[in-house]
Chain A
Amino acid sequence: MPVIKDAVCSLCGSLCDDITVTVEDNKITKIENACILGHSKFVGMFEHDRIETPMIRKDGELVPVSYEEAIEAAAKILVNSRRTLSYGWCSTSCEAISGAIKLAEETGSVIDSTANVCHGPSALAAQEKGSPSASLGVIKNRADVIVFWGCNPVHAHPRHMSRYSSFSKGFFTEKGRKARTMVVIDVRKTDTAKLADKYVEIEQGSDLLLITALRSIVNGHEDVIPETVAGVPKAELLELAETLKNAKFVCIFFGMGVTQSRSKYKNGDAVSSLISDLNQHTKAVMIGMRGHYNVTGFGQVATWETGFPMAIDFAKGYPYYNPGETGANDLLVREEPDAAIIAAADAGAHFPQKAVRHLARIPVIQIDPYANPTTELADVVIPSAIVGIEAEGTAYRMDAISLRMKKLIDSKFKTDEEIVKDLTTKVRELKRGA
């Protein structure tokens, strides 16, 4: 009975790499160290709705076909398209992402990742002010003040606090949670907020006002602060600023409450400036709480291969980047794409109605292990092996540390990497034919 140690959990951006997996008859029967999300991924997969076979939509119904037929149908869609959107590529390996970028380049497509609806604004923020960050172990070993801003790790990253942050123990933080101050800033009292030493509830959408106020105080201009900012009394703000300034090491973890609310990337931009200002007094860093286990990897691979982390338009033959213009939702809402590949992500579930309606109108190629809302809209469905369980490959943790995901069991399905390669070969063949 093989027991595999130090497996990497391919669910969220925490990318825990201490999972012990027991495999019996090519089935995972036991999993240790994983959280509820990881457990669902590893053990639950045997109950989930796998896409059992490649399919093509005929007369409104998806009918089973061979991999070859599905790849050919997909390739035809791509060759006939003037503006393809290739979206997702975050619950997969860097090797598959690299292949997807090559395919996008060859077909003059636009390729974007799930960062479009998640931490894309954090990239834009970094492009304004930089990204003063650290690896998660630095937080574990040093941070005495930990701020969770607009994020809810109890739900979204369940082992984060025990492995990397609030509850972890490290070299200079032997006392763990007792010696750390945990601050939560949010618009509602989340389950994470309930664990905080200090919970600051702000008016929804007013993050930038609060960050600006903190900066003004940290920079010695508390005189410009009105009596309340973002619904928070000035006294509380002064106290929060003191907590940050007097820390030995501050980390601000931020989530979609920061990236998605009113001022979008200008929030992250301002947090970055706040971190810089705080470093005049103490040591401070920020880390985005990335969702998909390899959305960080998409950003890394895309950046070294194209110069840009997401929203890359190859129409001109070279990469062009401009979220707001070349992002997946920008394109769909403007009804630009005449074809789409949705892979290793679920636009059907996670895009606003208007974007989903456009997907419903155009040919959609789906590459995914599981049936999901996108399947309902897809015209060609290509099932794939689950990366991190049935296929190996590289993934990047939220702090940009890369890890090798293991193959734990065998699969009858092709890997994303193979599918992209086959698709590229077929596209070349059709183009040569034309």
Chain B
Amino acid sequence: MSEILIKNASVCDPAQGINCETMDICIRDGKIVDSVSGNAKVIDAEGKLTMAGGFDGHTHSAGKINVGRFMNPNDARKNLVPGLSGQVARTEKTRAQVGYNTPNTYAIGYRYAKLGYTTICEAAIPLLSARHTHEEFKEIPILDKMGLSLFGSNWQVMEYIRDKEPEKLAAYIAWGLKASRGYGVKIVNPGGGEAWGWGKNVSGLYDPVPNFDVTPAEILMGLVEANERLQLPHSVHVHCNNLGKPGNYATTIETMKLFEKVKPSRDRQSLHVTHVQFNAYAGTSWRDFETGAPMVSDYINGADHLTFDLGQVIFGPAVTMTADGPVEYANSRMLHEKWSNQDVELEDASGVVPLFYSPKSFVNAVQWAIGLELALLVKDPWKVMFTTDSPNGGSFVNYPEAFTYLMSAKRRAEVISGFSKMALDRMVLPGIDRELDFYELAVMTRSIQSKIYSRPEKGNLKVGSDADIAIYDILPGQIDPTTEYEKVKKAFSGTAYTLKDGVVVVKDGEIEATPKGRIYWVNAKVPANIDSAMQKDIDLKFKKYYTVSKSNYMVEDMYLENPVEIGTEGVF
């Protein structure tokens, strides 16, 4: 039995409505408890902001990121955020580290932990190469992990939707999650991945997918039906059509509206829209490009069925990586950048392109503003998950920098002062004076994730929750984040303590211990007769079209370290 007493912490825990109150936290065997014995190890947290461990709900940290590493060996030496990037020699406690946007697996674990983050959700697992994602998960120390499996251009999915077989579709989703050991349903540019199989794209929700006679809207509605039928812990997680195109805000709102009538099967949103920054563009071309954030925010303020995340841009080098194959090809041609592509048979596409966000580029400046506008114009922080879609908008190691933008209008004005007039004319950010407080920041970085992913033991400090705790050397009330943003950045860049399951993993910004995290995956129950009917269909797919055997397709148990199987009951 191991016990820890965190004394006199300045606790900020929105899940319990606690806003920076001084209190003790008791830990026993990795869980938060009511009280501990006198033998408990004491951590003095007086004067320190204490929150639940951060939870990055949408990050590219395992699988596709390896393509990014592979094609960008020059990223290894980039040290743009000292202490959280670049080359670091091995020590007795830690493996060697490299990288900035595409760090090696060890660096990902250490650096998230230094930021006080303890859980991540990989945003895209192609079913066929899921084993690879899990192999990388295994080498990411400290963090708990989960991943979202891609279903948006999957042949079997599209056929079941076209043939109106909702039960088999649900059975297939359940099987796909099991095969890939995924946690939820990710839909990227629905139908676009299949169109990209022929070098094309779909243009919107009602543009039929070539050869499959379904529309993106039908794919979305089919998959959300299956998602709710299976009572999955997470809602569908949607990367909208037309990403990265001027004028796409309309598609985004249209997509959100599609879900208004969907009844969620659990106490959570029925739709999560991801990296909305990339999907909130107005204008008709890059010439008259401008922010669409006000329109999108207006809609979200009046809706209560959805959540979203930002995809905030960070100036400097980034690496875009997405299952949206056509978008990456377009990026590479427009920016004259190197381009990797990986179409996945019968399932999806993907691409990787490095780029550079420059404050001197009016497009990049407006993109930067849009992310912040979304965060600040949407009134209820319980709808907003903070992300940079790392490393698409920028590397996660810049989160502390981004927090200062959210918390300080003065800081934003400083950045904005470097923009061109053209950029300023295309954004509304300069007119926004809202400044988030620590409580709202905690909502966006840990509390909402608990709710969005139905993980009640995460993202809060309730008795019974996992003792994943971040203690920052900063005291709300003693400092003013609207002016002392450098202190905010410093405190969030390296915790005084990070605890993972009650183990001190970071102390004074340095790695103390590197325990292995868990893997969460969902096993949704489906009636045997429906399952076996579905299996017959996919057997045919394997026989005729896949190049791997079905028996070699499923990710085996040995790839999951500390697996946590989340069972759900399908409703048929």
A129-B338 contact, Cβ under 8 Å, with A299-B70, A318-B98, A319-B76: yes
Residue interface mask B110-129, A partner, CB < 8 A = 1: 00000000000000000011
CB B237 to nearest CB in A, in angstroms, measures: 23
Residue interface mask B510-554, A partner, CB < 8 A = 1: 000000000000000000000000000000000011111101100
Indicate whether A314 reaches chain B with its CB closer than 8 angstroms.
yes
Cβ B67 vs Cβ A135 within 8 A:
no
CB A273 to nearest CB in B, in angstroms, measures: 9
* A141 to B71 Cα, complex, angstroms: 27
Cβ B339 vs Cβ A135 within 8 A:
no
Query: Looking at A142, A301, A307, A403, which has the most chain B CB atoms within 10 Å of its CB?
Result: A307
Indicate whether B562 reaches chain A with its CB closer than 8 angstroms.
no
Indicate whether B297 reaches chain A with its CB closer than 8 angstroms.
no
Q: Spot the interface stretch: A69-77, A394-402, A415-423.
A: A394-402
Chain B residues closer than 8 Å to A102, beta-carbon distance? 95
CB B557 to nearest CB in A, in angstroms, measures: 11
Indicate whether A404 reaches chain B with its CB closer than 8 angstroms.
yes
Indicate whether A131 reaches chain B with its CB closer than 8 angstroms.
yes
Cβ A134 vs Cβ B342 within 8 A:
yes
Cβ B73 vs Cβ A127 within 8 A:
yes
Question: What is the chain A residue whose CB lies nearest that of B155?
Answer: A171
- Residue from A106, A163, A401 in contact with B128 in the complex, judged by beta carbons closer than 8 Å: A401
Chain B residues closer than 8 Å to A249, beta-carbon distance? 197-198
* A246 to B129 Cα, complex, angstroms: 31
Cβ B73 vs Cβ A307 within 8 A:
yes
Chain A residues closer than 8 Å to B333, beta-carbon distance? 276, 280
Cβ A133 vs Cβ B90 within 8 A:
no
* A170 to B544 Cα, complex, angstroms: 7
Cβ B352 vs Cβ A130 within 8 A:
yes
Chain A residues closer than 8 Å to B344, beta-carbon distance? 134-135, 138
* A321 to B136 Cα, complex, angstroms: 21
Question: What is the chain B residue whose CB lies nearest that of A126?
Answer: B71
Indicate whether B199 reaches chain A with its CB closer than 8 angstroms.
yes
Dominant SS at the B interface?
mixed
Cβ A400 vs Cβ B71 within 8 A:
no
* A404 to B70 Cα, complex, angstroms: 23
Indicate whether A334 reaches chain B with its CB closer than 8 angstroms.
no
Cβ A308 vs Cβ B76 within 8 A:
yes
Chain B residues closer than 8 Å to A138, beta-carbon distance? 197, 343-345
Cβ B95 vs Cβ A126 within 8 A:
no
A130-B342 contact, Cβ under 8 Å, with A170-B545, A304-B104, A403-B552: no
Indicate whether A5 reaches chain B with its CB closer than 8 angstroms.
yes
CB B320 to nearest CB in A, in angstroms, measures: 12
Cβ B340 vs Cβ A18 within 8 A:
no
CB A424 to nearest CB in B, in angstroms, measures: 13
Question: What is the chain A residue whose CB lies nearest that of B74?
Answer: A127
Cβ B549 vs Cβ A314 within 8 A:
no
Indicate whether A136 reaches chain B with its CB closer than 8 angstroms.
yes
Chain B residues closer than 8 Å to A306, beta-carbon distance? 96, 98, 104
Chain A residues closer than 8 Å to B445, beta-carbon distance? none
Cβ B343 vs Cβ A134 within 8 A:
yes
Cβ A171 vs Cβ B544 within 8 A:
yes
- Residue from A5, A129, A307 in contact with B76 in the complex, judged by beta carbons closer than 8 Å: A307
Question: What is the chain B residue whose CB lies nearest that of A301?
Answer: B135
CB A395 to nearest CB in B, in angstroms, measures: 10
Indicate whether B426 reaches chain A with its CB closer than 8 angstroms.
no
* A79 to B519 Cα, complex, angstroms: 37
Indicate whether A98 reaches chain B with its CB closer than 8 angstroms.
yes
| CB contact list, B67-104 vs A, under 8 A | 67, 69-76, 87-90, 95-99, 102-104
Question: What is the chain B residue whose CB lies nearest that of A405?
Answer: B552
- Interface size for A (C-beta < 8 A) is 67
* A141 to B547 Cα, complex, angstroms: 10
* A134 to B198 Cα, complex, angstroms: 12
* A110 to B40 Cα, complex, angstroms: 46
A171-B545 contact, Cβ under 8 Å, with A133-B341, A276-B333, A318-B90: yes
Dominant SS at the A interface?
mixed
Chain A residues closer than 8 Å to B545, beta-carbon distance? 137, 140-141, 170-171
| CB contact list, B320-360 vs A, under 8 A | 329, 332-333, 338-346, 352-353
Cβ A137 vs Cβ B345 within 8 A:
yes
Indicate whether A8 reaches chain B with its CB closer than 8 angstroms.
yes
* A321 to B128 Cα, complex, angstroms: 30
Cβ B547 vs Cβ A136 within 8 A:
yes
Chain B residues closer than 8 Å to A276, beta-carbon distance? 329, 332-333, 339
A300-B66 contact, Cβ under 8 Å, with A305-B104, A317-B96, A401-B129: yes
Cβ B329 vs Cβ A279 within 8 A:
yes
Residue interface mask A87-128, B partner, CB < 8 A = 1: 000000010001000100110000000000000000100111
Residue interface mask A260-277, B partner, CB < 8 A = 1: 000000000000100010
Question: What is the chain A residue whose CB lies nearest that of B126?
Answer: A135
* A299 to B346 Cα, complex, angstroms: 25
Indicate whether B412 reaches chain A with its CB closer than 8 angstroms.
no
Chain A residues closer than 8 Å to B139, beta-carbon distance? 98, 304-305
* A155 to B455 Cα, complex, angstroms: 54
Cβ B549 vs Cβ A6 within 8 A:
yes
A8-B552 contact, Cβ under 8 Å, with A137-B345, A163-B547: yes
* A171 to B544 Cα, complex, angstroms: 8
* A126 to B329 Cα, complex, angstroms: 15
Indicate whether B252 reaches chain A with its CB closer than 8 angstroms.
no
Cβ B547 vs Cβ A132 within 8 A:
no
A131-B340 contact, Cβ under 8 Å, with A304-B66, A307-B98: yes
* A274 to B90 Cα, complex, angstroms: 41
Indicate whether B438 reaches chain A with its CB closer than 8 angstroms.
no
A105-B90 contact, Cβ under 8 Å, with A132-B340, A140-B345: yes
A130-B105 contact, Cβ under 8 Å, with A123-B70, A303-B70, A321-B76: no
- Residue from A128, A307, A401 in contact with B103 in the complex, judged by beta carbons closer than 8 Å: A307
CB A261 to nearest CB in B, in angstroms, measures: 22
| CB contact list, A315-345 vs B, under 8 A | 316-321
Chain A residues closer than 8 Å to B74, beta-carbon distance? 127
- Residue from B71, B90, B102, B129 in contact with A127 in the complex, judged by beta carbons closer than 8 Å: B71
Cβ B346 vs Cβ A402 within 8 A:
no
- Residue from A128, A140, A304, A400 in contact with B338 in the complex, judged by beta carbons closer than 8 Å: A128
Indicate whether B556 reaches chain A with its CB closer than 8 angstroms.
yes
Chain B residues closer than 8 Å to A402, beta-carbon distance? 129, 131-132, 135
A135-B342 contact, Cβ under 8 Å, with A141-B545, A314-B96, A319-B87: yes
Cβ A319 vs Cβ B96 within 8 A:
yes
Chain B residues closer than 8 Å to A94, beta-carbon distance? 135
CB A410 to nearest CB in B, in angstroms, measures: 19
* A280 to B326 Cα, complex, angstroms: 12
| CB contact list, B39-76 vs A, under 8 A | 62, 65-67, 69-76
- Residue from A5, A285, A316 in contact with B341 in the complex, judged by beta carbons closer than 8 Å: A285
CB A298 to nearest CB in B, in angstroms, measures: 12
* A249 to B200 Cα, complex, angstroms: 12
The 16 listed contacts between A and B (C-beta, < 8 Å) are: A5-B549, A130-B339, A130-B340, A132-B329, A132-B340, A135-B129, A276-B332, A279-B199, A300-B132, A300-B135, A305-B139, A307-B69, A307-B73, A314-B96, A318-B87, A394-B131
Please give 13 more A-B residue pairs, beta carbons under 8 A apart, in addition to A105-B96, A137-B548, A307-B75.
A133-B343, A134-B345, A170-B545, A276-B333, A283-B198, A299-B70, A300-B135, A305-B95, A308-B98, A319-B96, A400-B342, A401-B132, A403-B131
Q: Which 6 A-B pairs have the closest CB atoms?
A: A137-B345, A317-B89, A283-B199, A130-B338, A134-B343, A307-B98
